[in-house]
Amino acid sequence: MSASPLAGKRIVLGVTGGIAAYKAIEVSRRLVDAGAHVVPIMTDAAQHFVGATTLSALASEPVQTELWNNPTTPIPHTEVGQGADLIIVAPATAKSIAAYRMGYSHDLLQNTLIATRAPVIVCPAMHTEMWEHPSVVDNIATLRARGVHIVEPETGRLAGGDVGAGRLASPETIVAAAERLLGPSDLAGVKVVVSAGGTREPIDAVRVIANRSSGKQGYAIAAEAAARGAQVTLVSTVGLPTPADVQVVAVETAAEMQSAMETAAGDHDVIVMAAAVADFRPSNAASGKIKKHDGVPEITLEPTPDILAALGGSKRAGQVLVGFAAETADLISNAQGKLERKRLDLIVANDVSAPGVGFAHDTNAVTMLRPDAKPVEIDLATKRDVARAVIDAVVDIRSAR
Ligand code: C5P
């Protein structure tokens, strides 16, 4: 299984003085979790918002703040930037963006930014009035034109209770931008559709038949495909945070999922059915609420359409079709049967009765089967790691054609 593209990379995390500085702690933690070596730099103003001790504890080495009398090195103004694989400035204030645009190297962070050839990601955070001010708009446009990667702020609640554009992008989005920049772009220009979550089939106006699927594995696959340059559509029954650069289509029932998947199948190159689709649904859902005093209702079930089998039947040349098999017994033989019956290129089988595996967990252990290759086993790993292995297999299938 390939490692995260951030593993072993030296990433300078520059934190400037805004309220959102506290989110830099989470960015650092996520980068370290992905195996990166995080070199933290804080400006003087940043230290008014979060303590250097906190960031030092969660980064890979102590925070550096000083251009002069730096205890780490006598020439910090060039050493930090020269050794970096990537620099992320999060949050970036209007002042730090202006200084960077001008090459005004008055502190350690600004020196580092102009003494590097590494790619730079700037994550602005400020009040809406500032974000929309012509000077900031102009500075951002200039940085962009120079090849600096800007992770745009979100619209939401700002310091002081204001609401508008200018809130720092989420740590997840910032780390996804780093993965996209340092990782392979082996799905650039490829259209991928992923289904995620369990379907919900109405019994009446308030009750549904549901299942235990959390959607986490499907979301991780969508995030991984997007990080590798794909154009991703996620057909989802759950409300997890939308991964960066992913288009979500919300559905609830198997019928709605089928219609969304069939539409997407028309122009998508890769289809991943990670959703847990109900096998049966009530044949006549009541339009109102079934009342308790009318007695225990008899609910007649009918089969739902097998979306994946239908997609296998209408598969276009070159299209890659991936299914999942959640089993509690005879994992491999059951999965092998589905691989053949549904005309899949890859099936990801997991024993959902094993500890830490499958529904709702953050980890998974799977065996990947292909019609023409040896089975690949992935021992207990994060769902993102499993997603990386699934996308590796998809890339391999595409390149073998
Ligand atoms: O046959 P089984 O339900 O175990 O197959 C699992 C695979 O088939 C999953 O990829 C699931 O998303 C898909 N499926 C489907 N439509 C159904 C049932 C399952 O697309 N009605």
**What single-letter amino acid sits at 382?**
T
Measured in Å, residue 366 CA sits from the centre of ligand 1 at: 16
CA-CA-CA-CA torsion for 101, 107, 113, 114, nearest 10 degrees? 70
Q: What is the pLDDT of residue 1?
A: 73
Backbone angles phi, psi at 165, to 5 degrees: -75, 140
Q: Is 69 left (phi over 0), alpha (psi -120 to 50) or beta?
A: left
Backbone angles phi, psi at 210, to 5 degrees: -125, -175
The whole-angstrom distance between residue 21's C-alpha and the CA centroid of its chain comes to: 22
* Strand order across the 120-124 sheet: 37-42, 10-15, 86-92, 120-124, 149-150
391 within domain boundaries? yes
Is-contact 236 250, C-beta < 8 A? yes
Q: What is the pLDDT of residue 75?
A: 83
Q: What is the pLDDT of residue 160?
A: 84
Instruction: Give the Cα separation of 46 and 283 in Å (integer).
Output: 60
pTM for the complete prediction?
0.90
Q: What is the pLDDT of residue 356?
A: 86
Is-contact 254 305, C-beta < 8 A? yes
Query: Relative to the CA of 304, which ligand 1 atom is closest?
Result: 21
The answer on 226 and 346 residing in a single domain is yes
The answer on 51 and 168 residing in a single domain is yes
- How buried is residue 3: exposed, middle or buried, by Cβ count under 10 Å (0-12/13-18/19+)? exposed
**What single-letter amino acid sits at 84?**
A
Instruction: Using most ligand atoms within 8 A of CB, pick from 257, 272, 306, 327 the residue to mutate for ligand 1.
Output: 306
The answer on 33 and 125 residing in a single domain is yes
Domain membership of residue 313 as a residue range:
191-400
Domain with 34 in it: what CATH number?
A: 3.40.50.1950
Residue 65 DSSP symbol = -
Read off the tokens for 20.
């959102």
In the residue annotation, 211 being an active-site residue is answered as yes
The answer on 247 and 227 residing in a single domain is yes
The answer on 204 and 118 residing in a single domain is no
> Directed axis angle between helix 171-182 and helix 21-33, to 10°?
50
Q: Report the domain count for the chain.
A: 2
Give pLDDT tens digits along the chain (401 positions): 788 999 999 999 999 999 999 999 999 999 999 999 999 999 999 999 999 999 999 999 999 999 887 777 788 788 899 999 999 999 999 999 999 999 999 999 999 999 999 999 999 999 999 999 999 999 999 999 999 999 999 999 888 888 999 999 999 999 999 999 999 999 999 999 999 999 999 999 999 999 999 999 999 999 999 999 999 999 999 999 999 999 999 999 999 999 999 999 999 999 999 999 999 999 999 999 999 999 999 999 999 999 999 999 999 999 999 999 999 899 999 999 999 999 999 999 999 888 888 788 899 999 999 999 999 999 999 999 999 999 999 999 999 98
Q: What is the pLDDT of residue 70?
A: 77
Strand-pairing partners, residue 241, are none
- Tokens 């994992």 sit on residue: 331
Read off the tokens for 393.
């297999």
For the Cβ of 347 lying below 6 angstroms from any atom of ligand 1, the answer is no
Q: What is the pLDDT of residue 313?
A: 97
For residue 209, what is the enclosing H or E element? strand 208-209
Q: What is the pLDDT of residue 159?
A: 85
Active-site residue among 139, 211, 334, 350? 211
**What single-letter amino acid sits at 160?**
G
1 within domain boundaries? no
Domain with 353 in it: what CATH number?
A: 3.40.50.10300
Query: Relative to the CA of 342, which ligand 1 atom is closest?
Result: 8
The answer on 177 and 81 residing in a single domain is yes
Helix (H/G/I), strand (E/B), else coil: 22:
helix
- Tokens 């994946």 sit on residue: 308
For the Cβ of 273 lying below 6 angstroms from any atom of ligand 1, the answer is yes
For the Cβ of 131 lying below 6 angstroms from any atom of ligand 1, the answer is no
Measured in Å, residue 174 CA sits from the centre of ligand 1 at: 34
170 within domain boundaries? yes
For the Cβ of 307 lying below 6 angstroms from any atom of ligand 1, the answer is yes
Query: Relative to the CA of 326, which ligand 1 atom is closest?
Result: 4
For the Cβ of 390 lying below 6 angstroms from any atom of ligand 1, the answer is no
The answer on 197 and 87 residing in a single domain is no
> Mind giving me the DSSP string for 360-391?
T-SEEEEEEEETTEEEEEEEEEEHHHHHHHHH
Q: What is the pLDDT of residue 290?
A: 96
Where is the domain boundary, 165, 182, 199? 182
CA-CA-CA-CA torsion for 380, 383, 388, 393, nearest 10 degrees? 70
Q: What is the pLDDT of residue 127?
A: 95
Q: How far apart are the first and last CA of the chain?
A: 22
248 within domain boundaries? yes
Q: What is the pLDDT of residue 360?
A: 80
